[in-house]
Amino acid sequence: MAEYSAFSLLKNALTGNKDWKPAWRKPDPKASYDVIVIGGGGHGLSTAYYLAKEHGITNVAVLEKGWLGSGNVGRNTTAVRSNYLLPQNTRFYEHSMKLWENLSHDLNYNVMFSQRGCLNLAHTPGQLDDYARRGNAMRHLGVDADLMSVDQIKRLVPALDISGSARFPILGGLMQRRAGSARHDAVAWGYARGADRRGVDIIENCEVTGFLRDGGRITGVSTTRGEIRAKKVALAVAGSTGRVMQLAGISHMPIESHVLQAFVSESLKPIIDTILTFGMGHFYISQSDKGGLVYGGDLDGYNSYAQRGSLPIVDEVMSEMLALFPGLARVRMLRSWGGLCDMTMDGSPIITTGPLPGMYLNCGWCYGGFKATPASGWCFAHTIAKDEPHEFNAPFTLDRFYRGLVIDDKGQGATPRLH
Amino acid sequence: MLITCPYCGPRDVIEFTYQGDGNRERPQPASQNLDAWNAYVYDRLNPAGDHNEIWQHSGGCRAHLRVVRNTLTHEIRSTTFARGGHKAEGRS
Amino acid sequence: MSPRRAETGGRIDRLRTIRFTFDGAPYTGHAGDTLASALLANGVTLFGRSFKYHRPRGLLAAGVEEPNALVTVLRGEVREPNIAATMVEIYDGLVADSQNRTPSLAWDIGAMNQLGGKILSAGFYYKTFMGPVIGPLKGTRFWMFCEHFIRRAAGLGKAGTAPDPARYERMNAFCDVLVVGSGPAGLMAAKAAADQGARVILADLEANFGGSANWSGETIDGMPAADWTQRMVGQLEGNDNVRLLPRTTVWGYYDGNTLAALERVTDHKEAPAKGEPRQRYWAIRAGTVVLATGSFERPLVFPGNDRPGVMLAHAAERYVNEYGVLPGQRIALFTNNDSAYRSAFALKKAGAAIVAIVDVRSDVSNEMRRLASEAEAELLAGHAVVATEGGKALTGLKVQRFDARSGALSGDERSIHADSLLMSGGWSPTIHLASQAGAKAEWDPARQAFLPPKPTQRWIGAGAFTGSFSTAEAIAEGRAAGLQAAGGTASSAPLPIVEAAPGDPDPAPVFEIKAKGKSFVDFQHDVTAEDVRLAHREGFVSVEHLKRYTTLGMATDQGKNSNLPGLAIMAEALGKSIPEVGTTRFRPPYTAVSIGSLAAERFGDLKPERLTPMHDWHIANGATMYSAGLWYRPMIYGLAGETVEQAYVREAKATRESAGIVDVSTLGKIAVQGLDAAEFLDRVYTNMFSTLAVGKARYGLMLREDGLAFDDGTTWRLGDQEFLMTTTTANAGKVMQHLEYFLDVIWPELKVTVTSVTDEWAGAAIGGPKARAILAACVTGTAVDNATLPFMGIVHGQIAGVPVMICRLSFSGEMAFEVYSGAGYGTRVWEALIEAGTPFGLVTYGLEALGTMRIEKGHVTGAEIDGRTTARDLHLDWMLSKKKPFIGSAMMDREGLVANDRLQLVGLIALDNRPLNGGGHVVEKLDEANPHDSLGHITACCYSPALGKYIALALVEGGKARHGTRAFVSDPLRNRFGPIEIVSNHFYDPDGSRMHG
């Protein structure tokens, strides 16, 4: 398949754009594969891509029940950052960040990763200390972080209310300049095209309806397009993990599925040139290249598979937005949507072999899924290929909860809605 | 979403705090069965469909309710006091 | 007379002239005009520029779906961008500007983007800008360089930064029947439900009720339909059980039949009346909803269909019948269905020449032929428009023979001179709310439209919403829906009689005319039919991929105009039917909603403020306050010229030397009462409380179920079955919920009640060597000597005549007492204590001094009990009773929680005698350039007046074993590096002799 470049664009424009080929093939499933990846979202596709690229395993099928990228990769607020408190998380997300920084070249697909920074605003001295703790933790792992003064913040985002009379005045903030945002759909499409070019079969409209077993071992899946066998079956179905694990006979997981709403305003000329988070609630915002303000807040707070949000969270998020930007009251919210989050008991993900023989599990992405896409696939591919985790994902086991080895960045314990 | 509190009547979801999976069984306090404790603290049923769950009417009478709610449609099938019974017995 | 205003007609008030400006130029209109109709009346044809190519655009529509004519409305410095001119009611002094053009609407430099032509096709961003692999622009730099310019070119209007002075209001409403839409169906439904005695709310997004009846030119019950609606509205207005909400967009259908609506209360006024909000946000809980939301006319896709002067047919009908404005003098129509004939007739009646009706169908009915001849229009059946001509205004069009079945064009092109081209591509029911409610739309091949399916929530549809496009059907369905919603029985009473132009509701299945030139599907986002086909070629064929790859339907009109034509083109490319391609699910909001309205009363008032009973005293006495959660608490009581450090050092020192007093009212306080209260506390706390004597207090520690530390505080036994529990300020609410959960869900057999009494008590902690003497000087009714009030003892007495409860306990490490009184008397007791203490040198101290003294003592707070630490990490294992199980006891010994390398609480002393910073890290080997291998971090720090050193508490890996060793503080964020000594967290008076006295 042709490389994408300014030259290929020009050449195709001259022929009326008639010669472009599909970004990925639409093959029928084969009877068997070396690896089946269930879930054609960002993580499943990147897993397939890195299986092929890093481990030479190309006899791979990605099974997607609907259209490719229909899950959370296309339903998020596109933030990419590695500003975590705990070293297990920071190391993993920093690995992801490094993959992001070269992703467009690697995929020959512009995922529009723009490192415009992520600024966490602090509103009390104690919070500023907390952010300093986190920033210093990052610096001790070689990750960039800086504290910003109120004056610096004012210069960066003039629309912010930095007055001392605000209900929660801004006292400073923690900035990760290498953080940024990317075009979410392009990530799915870029990985799909990249995996396809390396021989991976991407099979859409193929829902897994059961698991094939030989004794206790998983040997394949039954699907709406027939039975497919595989030496290894890998799950990357965040949001639906509970449902798919049920098919494998595992009824309980350390996961709850929750709805997270996100919002976009109408297009505006540039007004916010970074990613901002509010410290006295739960609110984050950035502005897309098209000009829409992209923002969100807390989970709706109860188990749901409905991809439908509730009104109180809408009101809460908008209120927090105006606490930061009282000038934006007349800007209008244009779209809202709900994504399904696998919320784990400590707020950190699971990338592991098992829990059944022949099965590999990637789930529990909570809020962090989009930014994790490259590293998640990279680590999962390693885990599948080598039958053991890479050191980056070694802490993200399923049994860590039981062993008291939780990775609890927020310190909230086993209450998923609070992570 | 409206939850019908047996005390207070139908109230908006904003008045309630979610307390999660109501199927979990807490081992006896003195139990040393760590597997049972782990299951109680960390494992969730998380069904796509009817879900037995606990809500507290924190912005109202503060009673805990056992709610059966469909996680696909958010339709609420039943609401009772977590203590058992529809009536206000249990709390005096 | 303005150039395009008809002599008569319309429902505007021609006697009232209104003055406004658009792009700085003055215009006039009449009361009842929208900005769109008033500008159109003034001969304006150019209203906006498109998003990508900056193509000149005119009005496409007359209502909420307008994609082209977006303006910014200015009120002084306050800007409201991206408002459709069709939805702006003009008022005297209205100032509106066009958008997305530089330097002006007529001459826009961005139009150069059109030269990019086929390079800027759908998805071109993804295929380029990757930049070089090496060199200074590698990585993301080249893209970010390009993006800088792309971002500035993108975006529509400009948001303001000046705070919006407007007020927004929220209303919660309850009704039996909510009727959405006030066309004939909605009016009939509201009337029928109201007559049944139901509580009815009728909402319509337009300023005037009546919907299509206001411009259809039909007759109902012998009178013009618009007059009939007036009469209906008049009847509804008289009913107490009916609430009428004009200018109210119902934009969200949420769970539990809760609907969200936005009422534009004063946007159409020069200034709000006293007390009026700008907008009102309605949360409506409806028993049943009647959806009578009508339908949208669809554009046709053909080359040049975006030229200013090309408009939807019904929009033109509306401009002439409702506003008395003709969109042109020589008008052509292009249609695939019968409804455009009625439009032609209306425009003819208003004085325009109808030069042609171009109909894709060759078999036009005799009725339509008659209408065409009455309009004196040439009927070109079996023809299609293949091009339009003109620049910023239409001058003509070209037609060719067309076969509707094959889509083939034949014969010679013929030019027709016209200044206005009206199109009708059929009608799509406005099913957005039903879709939001959770239902999936169903395709109707006859109507060529998606119709609402069976309800998933309690709603009933009526009128065009259901695909019944005639007014007579709307009236019948509306009444039936209203009756059903109100629980009434079907009525056999006669229905109002409608006289309307005939017409078949089913269009020909023609969506696109394929000819040379750009044919637009999504007008605002410049998505062309070719873009849709390119998406198909590249495999982006599912409806969501189509949308996301081309941005079709993502503009401010949210696909109201473009969704179906886009789907149809994709379906054709795939050789599938439209429903096989799918339809997207609609999500809230139906139209864009101001963020101010959603914040409503919380705009400018995000969270309540919690103030202690002594708050005013603190302010009056020079306290610097800071916020702690929702609370405000004194940080220091600074003297003139003092730094914060000088102030807290002075306060702490004075306390340790004589006495100090601090407001502790914010501590959580929970009354735990009942037969089983002591048993309950034994289960909740890690240590024993059943053994606590009445009249004594004990320090307690709680764990979470997972075995990690949760909260600490003292609990006082006031009676055999009565305890007063205190919690940390931050966790007061969480602890309360924790206790309630266990009592209600886990241990319902325990006879215990818990009551939050935080706000009932004012608390003052007074400590220091002179504290007892001060109390002795002001407390009556009890002695306070060591025998009567030993360490952890409780007494009751009075201060200044106010009953008080005094417990001798210490956070500061000094001999100290907590004095609680009723909250309303807090200041009185506080002042009496200060008066009694002044001779002894009593000082008031704030949180900084409180923190300093607790760091010196090594006590833990939320900075150490941070949800990740165990009792052992904090050296509180002595509190873990082995005699009983308690919450967390079974889980606290798991392998990860007892490892030796966990972060453990230690003290730090700065060996370079410089201040330490909270959040600084601890390392064994200092590497300022590349800090690495952190051992832990500082949780709290201060200058210790007692030690004369800068000290800190810290959580450090294997900390306990490191006592007495040297390490370094590493704080690259603040460039603070230096040597430290790791010591025990108990810096000061470790054996407690001072507090035990």
- Domains defined for chain C, CATH in brackets: 1-165 (3.10.20.440), 168-295+429-499 (3.50.50.60), 330-424 (3.50.50.60), 510-579+586-592 (1.10.10), 668-758 (3.30.70.1400), 900-997 (2.40.30.110)
Task: Please name the residue of chain B whose CA is at the shortest distance from the CA of residue C882.
Answer: B30
- B70 in contact with chain C, both atoms CB, cutoff 8 A: no
Instruction: State how far residue B65 is from chain A, nearest Cα, in angstroms.
Output: 14
Distance CA C508, CA C383 (A): 13
CB C207 within 8 A of CB C268: yes
Measured CA angle at C31 (ends C28, C32), to 5 deg: 115
Query: Which residue is associated with the tokens 């730099």?
Result: C141
Distance CA C265, CA C307 (A): 35
Domain membership flag for residue A93: yes
Q: At what angle do helices A369-386 and A42-55 cross, to 10 degrees?
A: 40
Task: Please name the residue of chain C whose CA is at the shortest distance from the CA of residue A332.
Answer: C594
Q: Which residues of B touch C253 (CB under 8 A)?
A: none
DSSP string covering A260-321: EEEEEEEEBSS---SEEEETTTTEEEEE-TTSEEEEEEEEEEEE--S----HHHHHHHHHHH
Q: Is the pLDDT of residue A134 over 70?
A: yes
Q: For chain C, which residues score pLDDT lower than 70?
A: 1-2, 117
Same domain (yes/no): A336, A212: no
Closest listed residue to residue C732, CA positions, set C716, C710, C747, C749: C710
Pairwise CB contact (< 8 Å): B84 & C890: no
pLDDT digits (tens, 9 = 90+) for A265-283: 999 999 999 999 999 989 9
Pairwise CB contact (< 8 Å): A302 & B53: yes
Q: Is the pLDDT of residue B87 over 50?
A: no
Closest listed residue to residue C77, CA positions, set C20, C159, C168, C19: C159
Q: For A370, how many CA atoms within 13 A lie in the half-sphere containing its CB?
A: 27
Strands C631-637 and C779-780: unpaired
Same domain (yes/no): A357, A384: yes
Confidence of residue B89 (pLDDT cuts 50, 70, 90): very low
Same domain (yes/no): A45, A93: yes
Measured CA angle at C304 (ends A289, C48), to 5 deg: 45
Closest listed residue to residue C483, CA positions, set C174, C184, C191, C175: C191
Q: Which residues of C touch A411 (CB under 8 A)?
A: 866-868
Distance CA C436, CA C254 (A): 7
Domain membership flag for residue A272: yes
Q: What six digits make up the tokens of C645? A: 């450090």
Instruction: State how far residue C957 is from chain B, nearest Cα, in angstroms.
Output: 26
Same domain (yes/no): A270, A326: yes
Closest listed residue to residue A140, CA positions, set C914, C866, C968, C874: C968
Q: Of A323, A344, A365, which residue sits at a domain end?
A: A344
Mutate to test the interface with C, among A10, A100, A269 (most CBs of C within 10 A): A269
CB C976 within 8 A of CB C969: yes
Query: Side chain identity at C157, as an amino acid letter?
Result: G
User: Torsion over CA of B15, B20, B21 and B26, rounded to 10 degrees?
Assistant: -110
Distance CA A298, CA A242 (A): 21
Burial class (CB in 10 A: 0-12, 13-18, 19+), C446: exposed
Q: Which residues of B touch C256 (CB under 8 A)?
A: 1-2, 13, 74
Chain C 863-922, residues with CB within 8 Å of chain B CB atoms: 885-886, 889-891, 894
Closest listed residue to residue C249, CA positions, set C602, C601, C600, C594: C594
Q: Is the dihedral of CA C5, C11, C16, C19 positive or negative?
A: negative
Distance CA C627, CA C609 (A): 9
Distance CA C315, CA C62 (A): 5
Bridge partners of C389, per DSSP, are: C396
Distance CA C291, CA C481 (A): 9
Counting other chains too, the contacts that A280-283 makes at CB distance below 8 Å and 24 or more residues apart are A280/A123, A280/A167, A280/A168, A280/A323, A280/C606, A280/C607, A281/A316, A281/A320, A281/A323, A281/C606, A282/A320, A283/A317, A283/A320, A283/A321, A283/A324
Q: In angstroms, what CA-CA distances link C806 with C204, C791, C793?
A: 63, 11, 8
Q: What is the pLDDT of residue C2?
A: 52
Query: Which residue is associated with the tokens 């940390």?
Result: C728
Taking only Cα atoms into account, the Rg of chain C, rounded to an integer number of angstroms, comes to 38
Contacts of C179 (CB under 8 A, 6+ apart): C186, C189, C190, C193, C200, C201, C202, C203, C289, C290, C292, C482
DSSP string covering C317-350: HHHHHHH-B-S-SEEEEEESSTHHHHHHHHHHHT
Domain membership flag for residue A262: yes
Cα B87 versus chain centre, distance? 16
The parent domain of residue A169 ranges over 118-179+256-344
CB C296 within 8 A of CB C65: yes
DSSP string covering C937-995: EEEEEEEETTTTEEEEEEEEETGGGGTT-EEEEEETTTTEEEEEEEE-S--S-TT-HHH
- Please compute the mean of the pLDDT values over residues A4-9 and round it to a whole number: 85
Closest listed residue to residue A270, CA positions, set A300, A255, A292: A292
Q: Which residues of A touch C891 (CB under 8 A)?
A: 404
Domain membership flag for residue A316: yes
Q: What is the pLDDT of residue C130?
A: 85
Same domain (yes/no): A261, A410: no
Q: Which residues of B touch A254 (CB under 8 A)?
A: 42-44
Distance CA C929, CA C427 (A): 68
pLDDT digits (tens, 9 = 90+) for C405-441: 999 999 999 999 999 999 999 999 999 999 999 888 9
Closest listed residue to residue A129, CA positions, set C632, C916, B76: C916
pLDDT digits (tens, 9 = 90+) for C942-970: 999 999 999 999 999 999 999 999 999 99
Pairwise CB contact (< 8 Å): B90 & C891: no
Q: What is the pLDDT of residue C1?
A: 41
Same domain (yes/no): A383, A340: no
**H or E element, residue C657:** helix C644-657
Domain membership flag for residue A13: no
Q: Is the pLDDT of residue B80 over 90?
A: yes
Instruction: State how far residue A146 is from chain C, nearest Cα, in angstroms.
Output: 6
Same domain (yes/no): A236, A151: no
Same domain (yes/no): A260, A340: yes
CATH number at residue A217: 3.50.50.60
C740 → closest Cβ in B37, B62, B84: B62
Domain membership flag for residue A19: no
Name all domains of chain B by residue range, CATH numbers in brackets: 2-81 (3.30.2270.10)
Pairwise CB contact (< 8 Å): A255 & B18: no
Measured CA angle at A67 (ends A66, A73), to 5 deg: 110
Any chains having at least 3 CB pairs less than 8 A from chain A are B, C
Strands C449-451 and C442-444: antiparallel
Domain membership flag for residue A5: no
A310 → closest Cβ in B1, B43, B69: B1
Closest listed residue to residue C343, CA positions, set C377, C309, C366: C377
Pairwise CB contact (< 8 Å): B64 & C744: yes
Same domain (yes/no): A134, A265: yes
Domain membership flag for residue A4: no
Q: What is the pLDDT of residue C124?
A: 83
CB A394 within 8 A of CB A405: no
Bridge partners of C285, per DSSP, are: C174, C258
Q: Of A313, A344, A375, which residue sits at a domain end?
A: A344
- Please compute the mean of the pLDDT values over residues B47-67 and round it to a whole number: 96
Pairwise CB contact (< 8 Å): B74 & A306: yes
Pairwise CB contact (< 8 Å): A266 & C161: no
Q: Of A294, A321, A344, which residue sits at a domain end?
A: A344
pTM: 0.95
CB B25 within 8 A of CB C883: no
Same domain (yes/no): A276, A338: yes
Q: What is the pLDDT of residue A1?
A: 58
Task: Please name the residue of chain A whose CA is at the shortest distance from the CA of residue B71.
Answer: A304
CB atoms within 10 A of CB C231: 13
Query: Which residue is associated with the tokens 């400018």?
Result: C604
Contacts of C499 (CB under 8 A, 6+ apart): C218, C219, C220
Instruction: State how far residue C487 is from chain B, nearest Cα, in angstroms.
Output: 21
CATH number at residue A148: 3.30.9.10
Contacts of B27 (CB under 8 A, 6+ apart): B33, B36, B37, B40, C890
Contacts of C80 (CB under 8 A, 6+ apart): A330, C72, C73, C74, C594
Q: What is the pLDDT of residue A285?
A: 97
Same domain (yes/no): A191, A281: no
Same domain (yes/no): A274, A340: yes
Confidence of residue B92 (pLDDT cuts 50, 70, 90): very low
CB A73 within 8 A of CB A41: yes
Q: In angstroms, what CA-CA distances link C875 with C858, C860, C880, C881?
A: 10, 10, 11, 14
Q: Is the pLDDT of residue B85 over 80?
A: no
Q: Which residues of C touch B19 (CB under 8 A)?
A: 741, 745
Measured CA angle at C335 (ends C330, C336), to 5 deg: 170
Distance CA C483, CA C198 (A): 10
Q: What six digits make up the tokens of C808? A: 């001798």
Count: domains in chain A: 2
Assembly ipTM: 0.95
Distance CA C184, CA C161 (A): 43
Distance CA C370, CA C501 (A): 11
Pairwise CB contact (< 8 Å): A114 & C551: no
